[in-house]
Every structure is written in C-alpha cells, then in structure tokens.
C-alpha cells in the first residue's frame, strides 16, 4: 500500500466525523486500507454503545465520565451522539449541566484535541482567515461565549469553551442538527480569574480581560466575519456577563439570526414551566404575584417575558409590572438606587410602594422582607446564591399560599438557591417545585433550557427566519407549557426531548411566518418537514 493510501487510512480514523472504529465492514477495510489499523472484530453501533456504557459505569465520578465523553466525541461523533441519545436522562447531566460546570473549571486539564474555534484577542486580525476553513462550509449553528459568566461559577476564560461544546451537543441530541453543521466558538479576550491565568496548564490567553471599545471592536470583527462567511447561520450567545449580554443582543439581534439563551431561552423555559404550574394551581397568570431573586441577564429576561405573557392575558403593562418584584444583590430593586443597570430600570419599584413595610435596622429590603410583604404565589431564583431560599422565607411564603410555586433555577447544584427536598419539607409538601439542576427528587421538574433553545433554533432554521423575535420565544413558552399533558410533572420527561424540540420548532416556525420574518415556503416547516430534517446518528 502506498504511503498516500496509508496516510488517507489514518486520516479517516482520526476524523471524528468519518471514524467508525470497529464498525468498519470488511469491504470498507479493503477499500480504505484499514486492515491492521483495527482489530479483526467487526462490530455494530449497538455493540459499541454497550462497550462505552460499561466503561462509563465503571468510572468513579461524573467528572471522569464527562472527560471520557469529551474524548469520545473527539474520536467518533456518530458513536458519541448515539450513546447520548440511547439514554438521555442518564447522559444529559454528564454532557451538560451540572457536570459541565466542573468541566469548564478544569477544561485546561483535559484539553487534548481541537474542537471548535478559539478566537483570541492577539489573533483578531486573523479571524476571517480562521473562519475560511472549508471544514466550516456546512455550519448552520454557532454557539459563542467569552467565558466571563459561566453558569454561577464566574469567569473561566478559555475554559468557557465547555459551554458552546455542550450546548451544541444538545442541539444535535435534541434538535437533530448534524454534527458537521455546528461550530463552538470561544472569544478569548483574557480572563480576570487570576487563578486561571497563573495555572501553568491554562490553555487560554494569559492576560486581564479586554474591555470597552477594544472589546466591542473585537466582537464586531467576529460578527462581521461570521455574517460574511456563513450567511443565514444561527448565532447563539452564551454566558456573557450581564451588561455585555444585553448590549450584544441589542446590537446584533436585527443584523443576523441571533439570540441570547441566558436571557431569552431561560425566560421562555421558566415562563413555559410556570404556565404548566399554574394549570395545576388553578390560579390564572394575571393573579400571580411573582418575586424574582436575581435581576441579572436571566432574571430580567424572565421578568420581561412574564410581563408580555400577562399582557397577552389582559393586563396592561403597568398592571403586569405591578405583579413582579425583583430582588438583587443590594435588595429589592428600587427606582432611587444609584446606577441601576438598564435591564433593571423597568423592574424597579418606587420607594413609596414599601412605605408601610417593617424593615430591619439596616433598611435593606432583602428577600425575606419582600416575601413577607408581597406574599408571592411564585418565587423564582436566578441569583447563583447557594441556599438563598432559607427555611424561614419559604415557610413565610407557604403560610399565605396553598400551592406555592418555587423555582430555584441557578446552576450548577453548588449555586442552587435551595435543595428541592427542603422546599417540599418546609412547605409541608404543598410546593410545586422546579429546579435548574437535576436533584433526583420525586415530583420535582428540571427547568432546563434544553426544553427550549434546540427547538427555537430548529424552528428558526426550518422557516428561514431572518431574525429571532420575542414573539417566537413566547410561542416556544406557550407550546412548552402544554406538552406535559396530564403527566405528574410540569414538563415532559427528558426521554422526550426530541419530540419537545420538534413541537417547539413547529410553534416557532409558525410564529415566524405570522410575524413576516420567515423566508422559506410553509411546506418546508410543517411538522413532517421539520421532523424529516432531524438527523439521527447512524453509520453511512
């Protein structure tokens, strides 16, 4: 066999998109010169899944399993996705939350092979050349992060690449986006996490974060290059710090097909789950009193979508906002606070609205005082503050509400506002609980963005949408809120995520058409047409 043929054989096995491992047939081994490079056994995809599952089960902890799965993805994409889809409830927490948090913190320890694109600030003049790689010709979905606000763990710098990689694995698992059509991107503008910069294993650019005009120009260069290189691509922003998250969404949402999952995806997931919850309580949405702990990107996004949902149910904007109270790091968000972030200004309450409240000596209106005076029917946590929902606060809430709805949404588990088992105990079993991370508590629904963003992306692409609108997220939330049917949980089981993505995609595509932003003919985004475009892992 010629040296060129030997090289081609090894390249075939080295490419995760073409490698089949032991599943190459005898004829394929003859054709591609693979004899001797593989053991003689000819396996099947099912037998390979069983082998990898046994290996996973033998490992001592979830981080080892996460690392194993990352290596598998980098060696055989079909097998990785087939394994994940063979048992979504078991594998999803290993591929994404909560394990991905530690995966980002320890990303430099386990980095072995290139995946996605690291665009570092020193290489800002090379971005267009980097994206010119023919390997990206098929890309339809880009997930990008700058690593500054990774879950509730803060600045992880280049380690934040674990988030785009994980999100895109879910796009494939749930929405059937082919693995050759996704591209994870990390905008490496440095890190203010000193421990990361001083770690000798750190793989990122060892410099403090670039900010201000230089940062904006860098992102503009990236977006312009993506827009030119990949017209029509869906660009999803992930885990940017609050101000940047809102600024970038506002700057680019009408320029290309783009959305921020932390702001919009979290909002649609939370609102959809709340709609399902209030069907169980029997109390209409317009009669709910909502307290939000955490008014950053996620919390503010939830509040704004809730306002729109209440207005659709008959309230005017003032009436809707009057039913939502936001508490942040400095206490209840009040209009006379200095330098409120722009996203918090519409959520701020007037000082005279709390004139009759009994306050602690410090005068700070915290979560406990807000709950005692508002008597909320709904309590949502998006704060990243571990155990912020304490027993006294929850018992106060439950004393005034027959079926309190409580969603501690912060990820990972170490940042959750409360353990669901405690919430059930403190409410004497009456609370309807949804958590951001899986806790394995019976009757508790996991309120995970994976219920929304894959379907939103799929629906936007199928309809040929020119932009992702707030109406499309509202359509996703409303559809999600109906999918559990008569099941005990608020949302469908994790096993049904592909069907959830399909149903959300159909609703999103229909909304895109109604709003006039769909460019594809309606025949291309019927349920049957969208289902037909969803890839399933198999060997060609």
The predicted structure's pLDDT at residue 363: 75
Which one is catalytic: 140, 167, 202, 451?
167
The predicted structure's pLDDT at residue 170: 98
Q: d(Cα 331, Cα 345) in Å, to the nearest integer?
A: 14
Which one is catalytic: 96, 171, 215, 246?
96
The predicted structure's pLDDT at residue 51: 97
The dihedral built from the CA positions of residue 11, 12, 17 and 20, taken in this order, carries a sign that is negative
Statement: 94-256 belongs to CATH 3.40.50.10380: yes
- Other Cβ atoms less than 10 A from the Cβ of 279: the count is 14
Report H helices in 230-366: 242-252, 266-281, 297-312, 317-321
340-398: pLDDT as tens digits: 999 999 999 999 999 989 887 777 899 999 999 999 999 999 999 999 999 999 999 99
User: Comparing C-alpha atoms, which of 266, 249, 238, 264 is closest to residue 383?
Assistant: 266
Helix H or strand E encompassing 4: helix 3-14
The predicted structure's pLDDT at residue 362: 74
- 167 catalytic, yes or no? yes
The predicted structure's pLDDT at residue 358: 82
Fold of the domain built from segment(s) 264-447: Rossmann fold (3.40.50)
The predicted structure's pLDDT at residue 520: 97
Q: d(Cα 435, Cα 382) in Å, to the nearest integer?
A: 11
Q: Residue ranges per domain, the chain?
A: 94-256, 264-447, 451-532
Which residue ranges of the chain lie beneath pLDDT 70? none
Using CA atoms of 273, 278, 280, 281 in order, give the dihedral in degrees to the nearest 10: 140
Helix H or strand E encompassing 34: none
Quick check: do 94-256 and 264-447 share a fold? yes
Reported pTM: 0.95
* Phi, psi angle pair for 445, to nearest 5°: -90, 135
The predicted structure's pLDDT at residue 152: 84
């Amino acid at each position: 066999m010629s040296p060129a043929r030997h090289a081609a054989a090894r390249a075939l096995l080295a490419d995760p998109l073409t490698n089949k491992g032991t599943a190459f047939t005898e004829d394929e081994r003859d054709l591609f010169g693979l004899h001797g490079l593989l053991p003689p056994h000819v396996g099947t995809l099912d037998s390979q899944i069983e082998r990898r599952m046994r290996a996973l089960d033998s490992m001592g902890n979830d981080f080892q399993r996460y690392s194993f799965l990352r290596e598998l993805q980098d060696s055989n994409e079909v097998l990785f996705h087939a394994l994940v889809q063979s048992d979504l409830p078991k594998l999803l927490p290993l591929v994404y939350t909560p394990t991905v948090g530690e995966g980002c913190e320890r990303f430099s320890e386990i980095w072995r092979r290139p995946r996605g694109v690291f665009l570092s600030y020193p290489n800002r003049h090379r971005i267009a050349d980097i994206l010119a790689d023919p390997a990206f010709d098929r890309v339809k979905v880009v997930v990008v992060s700058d690593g500054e606000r990774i879950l509730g763990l803060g600045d992880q710098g280049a380690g934040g690449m674990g988030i785009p990689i994980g999100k895109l694995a879910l796009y494939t698992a749930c929405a059937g986006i082919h693995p050759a059509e996704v591209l994870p991107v990390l905008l490496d503008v440095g890190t203010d996490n000193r421990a990361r910069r001083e770690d000798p294993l750190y793989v990122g650019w060892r410099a403090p974060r670039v900010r201000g005009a230089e940062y904006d120009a860098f992102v503009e260069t990236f977006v312009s290059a993506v827009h030119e290189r990949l017209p029509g691509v869906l660009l999803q922003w992930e885990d940017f710090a609050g101000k940047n998250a809102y600024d970038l969404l506002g700057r680019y949402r009408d320029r290309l097909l783009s959305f921020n999952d932390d702001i919009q995806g979290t909002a649609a997931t939370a609102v959809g789950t709340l709609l399902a919850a209030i069907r169980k309580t029997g109390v209409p949405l317009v009669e709910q009193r909502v307290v939000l702990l955490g008014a950053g990107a996620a919390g503010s996004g939830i509040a704004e979508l809730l306002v729109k949902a209440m207005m659709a149910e008959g309230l005017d904007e003032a009436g809707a906002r009057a039913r939502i109270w936001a508490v942040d790091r400095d206490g209840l968000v009040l209009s006379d606070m200095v330098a409120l972030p722009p996203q918090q200004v519409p959520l701020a309450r007037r000082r005279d609205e709390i004139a009759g409240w009994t306050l602690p000596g410090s005068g700070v209106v915290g979560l406990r005082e807000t709950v005692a005076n508002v008597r909320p029917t709904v309590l949502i946590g998006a704060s990243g503050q571990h155990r912020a929902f304490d027993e006294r606060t929850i018992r106060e809430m439950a004393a005034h509400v027959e079926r309190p709805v409580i969603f501690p949404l912060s990820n990972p588990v170490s940042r959750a506002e409360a353990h669901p088992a405690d919430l059930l105990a403190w409410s004497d079993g009456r609370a309807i609980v949804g958590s951001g991370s899986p806790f394995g508590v019976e009757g508790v629904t996991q309120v995970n963005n994976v219920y929304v963003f894959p379907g939103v992306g799929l629906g936007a692409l199928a309809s040929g949408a020119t932009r992702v609108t707030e109406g499309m997220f509202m359509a996703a939330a409303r559809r999600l809120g109906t999918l559990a049917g008569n099941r005990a949980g608020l949302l469908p089981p994790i096993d049904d995520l592909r069907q959830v993505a399909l149903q959300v995609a159909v609703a999103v595509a229909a909304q895109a058409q109604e709003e006039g932003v769909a460019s594809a003919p309606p025949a291309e985004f019927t349920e049957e047409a969208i289902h037909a475009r969803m890839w399933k892992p198999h060997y060609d």
